[in-house]
Amino acid sequence: MKRYILLLGLLVSILFGRGYILIDGGGSQGIGTSSHYPGTWSDSAFKWALSKVGYSKNFVVVYYENYNASWWTTYLRGLGHTGSVKVVVVRNTNDANNPSKWTDVYSEGTGIIWFPGGDQSNYVPILKNTKLGDTIKTRYNRGEICVGGTSAGAMIIGEYVSTGGAWPNEAIRDPYNSYMSYDRNVLGLLENCLVETHLAERGRLGRMFAHLGRIKNDYGEEISVIGLDDCTALCIDSDLSATVIGSGSVTILKSTPSTNWGIASGRPVNLTNLWVLRAHDRFKINLNTGEIISIPPTARAINQPSPQIVPPPSEIYLIGGKPDQISDQNTALSQFISACGPSPVLTLFAANVGMDTVVNYKNRLISLGASQVYLVPLTSSDVNNPTYAQYVQNSQGFVFLKNDLQNAGSLLNSNNLVAQSYRERINEGVPQLFIGLDCMLINDSVLYNVESNDYNAYYGDLRMSKGLNLVPGLVVAPAAFVPENTSPSYVYLESKVDGHIWLLTRYPGSVLLLLEGASYEYSNDETWVKIGRDGIMRGYRGAKGAPLVILDALNNQYSAISTWTMRSSSSGPRQNGTLTPLVIHVIDTTFQFDLLNRGTLDVSVEAETGLNFDLQILKGNILRLRLGLNHGFEFAKICSADGKVLWSYYIGKDTEKFFSFPKREGIYFLLLEGKQRQRVVKILKFN
């Protein structure tokens, strides 16, 4: 039986199309092998385009500088192309307004017009408001041609074009930073859209959030942002059906009626209740309605209920940044020490307790108020040492730093002396602090080699080990958008971000926290998290810190992983996965996330009004809402997931109200609404 996903009218009216579009996220065409499909990853995409316009039609490359297209001739010939491959070089606006320079563009013999990668800003003067651009759009609207591009050449297809070069960590910290800029209607075949490329390879999910907020702020439009992984294409037919082809995913990001918008210069991105469709190889989508038309045999439908997230037995503190950036971590370290009690005794677990970084942390913890810090090596030869076990037993807090992630979790899950003392103490509520990549130890499974090679996820070389599973249902990816101070500066980002989305496919219905850390570009930019025993996840940051990015797979209906192997020496297929749909929250310190009820809590209301917000579900389907004095709200409204108001209750100046709620299975939003503002403050989930 065919199943559908309707994503809140996700892409309604974004496209006016009569021709065909083929866009890919960059990387090399003509590589990769699959256990399910013949040829290389790109073969089916270009065969699709050729079948639409005719195999004898010419393939015309349009570029702003000299271009060698000999590879295309050989490649397309291998796919059955019998037409010519031609290159049109248009260097400036004068050339773009002189049709004699580009006769092949308007020739009836041309079927595909292709824009290579490079710098998308260089396409602006030759396509925007020029005869060349108008001619391509006219031929496309008549259904005469397929228009396509890769990388920068794909980005110009959207109505809105990102012309800046911000890294994802810069974009989410400040969407108005000097590297963020936009243009409109460069070619503009995908109305109300912005196309992002190299999504997985360069960790550009962080940029997609900034794009969504900036276009809303600057142009007043709520757009869709289409993110394309490298070696992944989206083939858009004239009826607006689109098929994903390739080794990665296509990610479509959209706001919902319940999105809280928080975009301002000098502030991190702050957006809640975003909706994501993430589609994999051979997924077919209706871009006009947001429906998934069909899924391939390699995907699976998820019929099981989402797991209930279990809060941790003790408070957990997570510092997402690098351990060698200790100078930015004083606030987090001080808060942790305070939670452990006055002058606490701590145990610091590390693989090598003699490392300078470990010793520096010990000294810093003591300078901030710890009376003693025991150094316990977390190695197989030390975990049955009774002295170390006694250290653990006597401690009021635990710190994890620079551990061997391949073995640390297994050691503390085993029946050794140190593990026994550790489990006993955390069950008694002893707080724990995890620093840098050690944050992954709280997961059930740990990707222990995300930084051993730039492209481990791409080449299928990520490896999993046992974690501590301290918060079942939560997966943490630290240093998610932090570029290295090496070249290229996006190394490891695919493994950190998309590698963990791939990991999430093993835990359908769970929550993924992409925790940014300190970068090498700023000071006072640490980001850290406290997860309470109440299941509330609270984010904190320095003045230049980043927001939390939370991917909630609560209602995911489909799951898929890549079947494409990208080199002969790879250990397996590319580790790229899909869970769809997803709800995403990008939250600054004005929000918290309720892991148990799977929703954001708006603490800015408390900051603005002195509000002590509390909501309880009582017996008999009664909701009790308590507010502080001068809360400023008039109505409490319960809305469906698509933003439709189902029930509305008058609050007035009351500070406590009881509502009868006809409990039904599903997800609902509670909105508090007043004359001056509206806030989504809670997500209600009923099974």
379: which residues sit within 8 A by CB, 6+ positions away? 351, 404, 407, 411
Measured CA to CA, the distance from residue 613 to residue 615 in angstroms comes to 7
Report residue 359 as tokens: 């010793």
Report residue 386 as tokens: 């009774």
The percent of residues above 90 in pLDDT, for the chain, comes to 70
> What's the pLDDT at 14?
43
Which has more pLDDT, 557 or 306? 557
Say whether pLDDT at 612 is over 80: no
> What average pLDDT does the segment 143-169 reach?
96
> What average pLDDT does the segment 233-262 reach?
94
Read off the pTM. 0.87
Interhelix angle for 70-78 vs 43-53, to 10°? 80
* Inter-CA distances, 262 with 210, 213, 259, 540, 585, Å: 10, 8, 9, 17, 11
Report residue 407 as tokens: 């073995």
Report DSSP letters for 597-649, one per residue: TTEEEETHHHHHH----EEEEETTTEEEEE--TT----EEEEEETTS-EEEEE
Q: Which candidate, 531, 326, 341, places its Cα nearest to that of 442?
A: 531
Please report which confidence band the pLDDT of residue 282 belongs to, taking 50, 70 and 90 as the band edges.
Answer: very high
Measured CA to CA, the distance from residue 352 to residue 375 in angstroms comes to 9
Instruction: Judge whether 244 and 283 are in contact, CB under 8 Å.
Output: yes
Q: How many CB atoms lie within 10 A of CB 183?
A: 17
Interhelix angle for 386-393 vs 417-427, to 10°? 10
Print the SS3 string covering 255-306: CCCCCCEECCCCCCCEEEEEEEEEECCCCEEECCCCCEEECCCCCEECCCCC
Measured CA to CA, the distance from residue 318 to residue 333 in angstroms comes to 10
Strands 158-162 and 190-196: parallel
Say whether pLDDT at 236 is over 80: yes
Say whether pLDDT at 12 is over 90: no
Domains of the chain (ranges plus CATH)? Answer: 20-166+181-199+209-252+268-297 (3.40.50.880), 312-438 (3.40.50.880), 603-686 (2.60.40.3080)
490: which residues sit within 8 A by CB, 6+ positions away? 167, 201, 202, 203, 483
* Range of weakest confidence among 191-195, 469-473, 660-664: 660-664
> What's the pLDDT at 523?
63
Interhelix angle for 356-367 vs 330-340, to 10°? 60
Q: Which candidate, 518, 546, 543, places its Cα nearest to that of 327?
A: 518
> What average pLDDT does the segment 407-411 reach?
97
Instruction: Judge whether 319 and 332 are in contact, CB under 8 Å.
Output: yes
Q: How many CB atoms lie within 10 A of CB 614?
A: 11
E strand or H helix that includes residue 235: strand 232-236
Please report which confidence band the pLDDT of residue 680 belongs to, taking 50, 70 and 90 as the band edges.
Answer: low
Please report which confidence band the pLDDT of residue 466 belongs to, taking 50, 70 and 90 as the band edges.
Answer: very high
Say whether pLDDT at 607 is over 50: no
Which has more pLDDT, 643 or 418? 418
CA gyration radius for the chain? 26
365: which residues sit within 8 A by CB, 6+ positions away? 333, 337, 346, 348, 373, 399
> What average pLDDT does the segment 196-217 reach?
96
Please report which confidence band the pLDDT of residue 518 belongs to, taking 50, 70 and 90 as the band edges.
Answer: low
- The partner residues of 565 in beta bridges, in order of sequence, read 33
* pLDDT, tens digit (0-9, with 9 covering 90-100), for 89-125: 999 999 999 999 999 999 999 999 999 999 999 999 9
* pLDDT, tens digit (0-9, with 9 covering 90-100), for 27-78: 999 999 999 999 999 999 999 999 999 999 999 999 999 999 999 999 999 9
Please report which confidence band the pLDDT of residue 522 belongs to, taking 50, 70 and 90 as the band edges.
Answer: low
Q: Which candidate, 291, 300, 398, 308, places its Cα nearest to that of 344?
A: 398
Hey, is 33 helix, strand or coil? strand
Q: How many CB atoms lie within 10 A of CB 50?
A: 22
Say whether pLDDT at 381 is over 60: yes
* pLDDT, tens digit (0-9, with 9 covering 90-100), for 334-347: 999 999 999 999 99
